[in-house]
Amino acid sequence: MKQGIMAQKAIKQLKYLEKLVENKKIRLAAEWKDKWQILISTILSSQTRDEITIAISNQLYKGYSSIEKLAKAPLNSIKEIIKPINFYKTKAKNIKETAKIILKIGIPKTRDALMELPGVGRKVANVYLVAAHNAAAIGVDTHVGRLSRKLKWTKQNHPHKIEKDLEELFPEKYWNSIN
């Protein structure tokens, strides 16, 4: 972990950003009651604004209120509901397959095991772990990468490298706040 002035400045910047988000009372796409909903909504959220993801997730969960119902849902029905989501055809296929897997084995509890599910990459796995289990992880998406470079927390462009730089810069207790 990088110590000293740079880390102290980064922590102050992060706390300021947290206050901005807190004051706006922004709901994130990964905030759901059930863990399976957190995972599915996080899969849907990639490359899609949270407002759209939340609205579409609400529709999806009205029609399919359990993981069993979602796993058995006709693929075309899922596609029709999530059509406003970017890459909806691929995501529909992935969430249906993920629902089937979850139904059989449950939701994995490690990043590596989560990443074996269709549609789950490192960012989705990290965001899920934070939202569902309060695990220490950093989900690096386009916005985290852009802000991290702008605030000089990293010079990297690759999400995994940005994640590593942020892990070195911030004490673990701040990781969950970054995304």
Enclosing domain of residue 70: 35-133
For 133-153, give the DSSP string: H--------HHHHHHHHHTTS
Check whether residue 23 and residue 41 sit in a common domain.
Answer: no
Check whether residue 13 and residue 51 sit in a common domain.
Answer: no
Check whether residue 106 and residue 20 sit in a common domain.
Answer: no
Please give the average per-residue pLDDT across 12-27, as a whole number: 70
Confidence band of 107 (pLDDT split at 50, 70, 90): very high
CB hemisphere CA count around 63 (13 angstroms): 17
Domains held by the chain: number = 2
**Which amino acids are annotated catalytic?**
123
- Average pLDDT of the chain is 90
* Model pTM score: 0.86
**Among 9-13, 41-45, 66-70, 173-177, the least confident range:** 9-13
